[in-house]
Structure 1
Amino acid sequence: MDAQSVNNEICHKERVSPTNKMISKKGWKAGALLLIVTFCFGMFWYLHVETYLPRTYEPVREMCSVGDVPSKAAIFISNYSRDHPVFLQLSDYFWVKNQSFYELPYGTKGSEDLLMKFLALTNRYHVPPEIERLSCRRCVVVGNGHRLRNSSLGEVINKYDVVIRLNNAPVHKYERDVGNKTTMRFFYPESADFDPNLDNNPDSLMVLVPFKPLDIQWMKIILNNEKRVRKGFWKMPPIIWEVEPQNIRILNPYYMEVTATKILGIDQDQKKKMKAKPTTGMLAITFALHFCDLVHIAGFGYPASSNKKQPIHYYEKVTLKSMAVSGHNITLEAVAINQLLQHRLIQNLTYF
């Protein structure tokens, strides 16, 4: 730039009016503010969504360490023990070895005769040998939450050794987000309105969570093709249900008792007074803490109480309003899950 050009530039700057200077200054401030807002929004998005992005599975496999979960759980859960059988078995009642202090869903007191008849039908009480002999069990409990929708976690979920699904959550048509591998499915009669063949694998274990004696009676009726019972359920369970008897198990109510008293902190007096019971998802997490060497969860958590429109499940449009009559204390469970996450007993594949 020559001397004349420099002089013209200086003269131009000197001719800028105060108004133009003010506009220029305001424009600069507006631009700076826009940059700050954009940066803050970007950071918020990153912190909120980054934990929701699918993680690669290879590092997860390397992390599995035998004894890690039990050692941490023993600190968090009083009288923690892995000595209890996973599923109920006939020998527990045939010789009256298992004398429970509690009735269902926290124990089997008063249901021994019914259990003997049911367990004699299935003649299966154990975990499949291919799972039992694993040196380190890597498990994922797949919740039914809406945050699984469009998560693209299907391939990640399929790579775990044990995939636990809940109630009537479908797999068919949602494979991209939830995978298609099912090792165990926890359910109860009212939540059995799914196709056992379409949404499970041929060798998937159908794990009955008995909340009441009628739940065991329903399963016995289905397997033995007896006259159907229609009363006593809060929602009518399936009347025709095609399932292989050898795939049926009954979860030991011990895990429900631990969930209520040691994870959620409900004392014995409260259990007798309150109708609220732990959700199947919370129960499945407790079970995994006693059975697995690495526990991950996905699809847990509900919308904010102020959000009346967002669905709570990835597969249907039911909103939070439906939980008001469910009898579940989801606030208490959210606190418990956050504590488990903070103590690194579990890890989350989605945000919570």
Structure 2
Amino acid sequence: MADAQHGHEIRWEYVKMSQKTTKTWFPRLLPGLLLFITVVAYYGSYTILQSYGGISKSPNSSKSPCDSWLTQKRWESLNFDFNRQTQLFLQLSDFFWREHLSGLPLPYGTNGSEVLLQKVLAITANYELPVHIQNLECRTCVVIGNGFAIRNSSLGNIINKYNMVIRLNDAPVKGYERDVGSKTTLRLFYPESASPNPELHNEPDTLMVLVPFKQQDLRWLKEILYNEKRVRKGFWKPPPQVFSGDASKIRVLDPHFLHKTARLLKIPLNQELVHPTTGMLAVFVALNYCDVVHVAGFGYPGSKSPRQPIHYYGYDTMKNMKNSYHDLSNEAEALKRLEDSGAIFYLHPHS
């Protein structure tokens, strides 16, 4: 009986010691456990995002990961007038058929610029995206803004996995690959934002997409393509006098998209003081052409951070945007509505 009671006391002491040990080590492991759960959830979400990789069209192909997106079309409830027009670029044939004539001048139409466009498009010759992108059943796209928010994000490898990577103006890539990636499918630009050597920060097959805001923009490209004397008047900043881009890789964006972007932002079409930014335009283009649209590098510093750089490169601050032709707060609200609706997804935290 004494031995049994002694054994019971030993077991009870063991239980109390185990409980005490648990109370000691569990709080120590809790932060690590929470971190592990967070990491698993984070990379699990990115695994889901990466499952949106392109699927080539096939008669026997399985259900596309884009089906749920296309079925829901949550952003349609915002009445943003997305018509899923997939012809992004102007074609020479557009100017030989009455139904393609535009009643608006640049930047929202082609009226008055037909002759310039005929000459430009006769040289560039190509009007399509690469066949391997056109044949995708599910197009995943990411629009890379030039904002400071993408700096130190380490998103480069993720960005390179999208079917289409759309970049803006002369934003550099070399030296920033860890954060912004190295792949570039389309680069939207206008003469004042053009790089003299497009090959420096683009891939050999990158398409250089001119966004013509005025007739001088088309005239600049015509003079480049035909090696004519350059006219320097009519630009708010001197554009490059030499542009070494491959003519077969140049496209001219249909002004239809800038027109619809202006309507999205409720910008009056009969004034010249405010235009959509190239970034907002790129998002609108992606929403029309792509099935999954993600963004990174969008947003400007708040008024309390006047000295913070606005780009992931260089040293420009909000002071440089003082005389901008853009309504940045209006665009921020539009992007917020798109994000809230699920139409776009940010790859990094943002304010």
Q: d(CA) in 2 for partners of 1:285 and 1:88?
A: 19
Retained in 2: the 8 A contact 1:340–1:346? Answer: yes
Of residues 84-93 and 329-338 in structure 1, the stretch that sits farther from structure 2 once superposed is 84-93
Q: d(CA) in 2 for partners of 1:205 and 1:343?
A: 30
- Number of the residue aligned with 1:5: none
Partner of 2:238: helix, strand, or coil?
A: coil
Retained in 2: the 8 A contact 1:69–1:294? Answer: no
What are the Cα deviations for residues 61-96 of structure 1, in whole angstroms up to 9, with x where unaligned? 335414725823432235431246210000100334
Does residue 1:335 correspond to 2:337, yes or no?
Answer: no
- Number of the residue aligned with 2:307: 309
User: Shift of the alpha carbon at 1:265?
Assistant: 2.1
- Number of the residue aligned with 2:266: 265
- Number of the residue aligned with 1:320: 318
- Cα gap change, 1:88/1:304 in structure 2, threshold over 3 Å: closer, same or farther? same
- Number of the residue aligned with 2:9: none
- Cα gap change, 1:225/1:153 in structure 2, threshold over 3 Å: closer, same or farther? same
- Cα gap change, 1:69/1:351 in structure 2, threshold over 3 Å: closer, same or farther? farther
- Number of the residue aligned with 1:250: 252
Q: d(CA) in 1 for partners of 2:213 and 2:199?
A: 24
Partner of 2:209: helix, strand, or coil?
A: strand
Query: Quick one: which of 88, 91, 98 aligns to 2:90?
Result: 88
Does residue 1:65 correspond to 2:63, yes or no?
Answer: no
Q: Which amino acid is 1:318 matched to?
A: D
- Number of the residue aligned with 2:137: 135
- Number of the residue aligned with 1:178: 180
Partner of 1:140: helix, strand, or coil?
A: strand
Retained in 1: the 8 A contact 2:86–2:288? Answer: no
Partner of 1:271: helix, strand, or coil?
A: coil
Q: Which amino acid is 1:59 matched to?
A: I
Root mean square deviation of aligned Cα: 2.0
Q: d(CA) in 1 for partners of 2:86 and 2:291?
A: 16
Partner of 1:214: helix, strand, or coil?
A: helix
- Number of the residue aligned with 1:299: 297
- Alignment of structure 1 residues 7-156 onto 2, 5 Å: 57-63=46-52, 64-66=65-67, 68=69, 71-83=73-85, 85-156=87-158
- Number of the residue aligned with 1:284: 282
What are the Cα deviations for residues 240-262 of structure 1, in whole angstroms up to 9, with x where unaligned? 1111011000111111111111x
Of residues 278-287 and 226-235 in structure 1, the stretch that sits farther from structure 2 once superposed is 226-235
Retained in 2: the 8 A contact 1:73–1:289? Answer: no
* TM-score, length-scaled by structure 1: 0.80
Q: Which amino acid is 2:47 matched to?
A: E
Partner of 2:188: helix, strand, or coil?
A: strand
Query: Quick one: which of 209, 213, 232 aligns to 1:207?
Result: 209
Structure 1: unaligned runs, 5 residues or longer: 1-49
User: Shift of the alpha carbon at 1:314?
Assistant: 0.5
Retained in 2: the 8 A contact 1:168–1:194? Answer: no
Partner of 1:317: helix, strand, or coil?
A: coil
Retained in 2: the 8 A contact 1:66–1:135? Answer: no
Partner of 2:141: helix, strand, or coil?
A: strand
Retained in 2: the 8 A contact 1:54–1:153? Answer: no
Retained in 1: the 8 A contact 2:81–2:260? Answer: no
What are the Cα deviations for residues 170-226 of structure 1, in whole angstroms up to 9, with x where unaligned? 001111110100000000000003531110000000000000011111111111111
Partner of 1:281: helix, strand, or coil?
A: helix
Q: Which amino acid is 2:244 matched to?
A: E
Retained in 1: the 8 A contact 2:95–2:118? Answer: yes
- Number of the residue aligned with 2:230: 228
Q: d(CA) in 2 for partners of 1:131 and 1:95?
A: 28
What are the Cα deviations for residues 121-179 of structure 1, in whole angstroms up to 9, with x where unaligned? 11111111011001100000000001111111110100111000000100011111101
User: Shift of the alpha carbon at 1:99?
Assistant: 1.4
Q: d(CA) in 2 for partners of 1:73 and 1:274?
A: 29
User: Shift of the alpha carbon at 1:98?
Assistant: 1.1
Structure 2: unaligned runs, 5 residues or longer: 1-38, 53-64
Q: d(CA) in 2 for partners of 1:83 and 1:66?
A: 18
Retained in 2: the 8 A contact 1:56–1:156? Answer: no
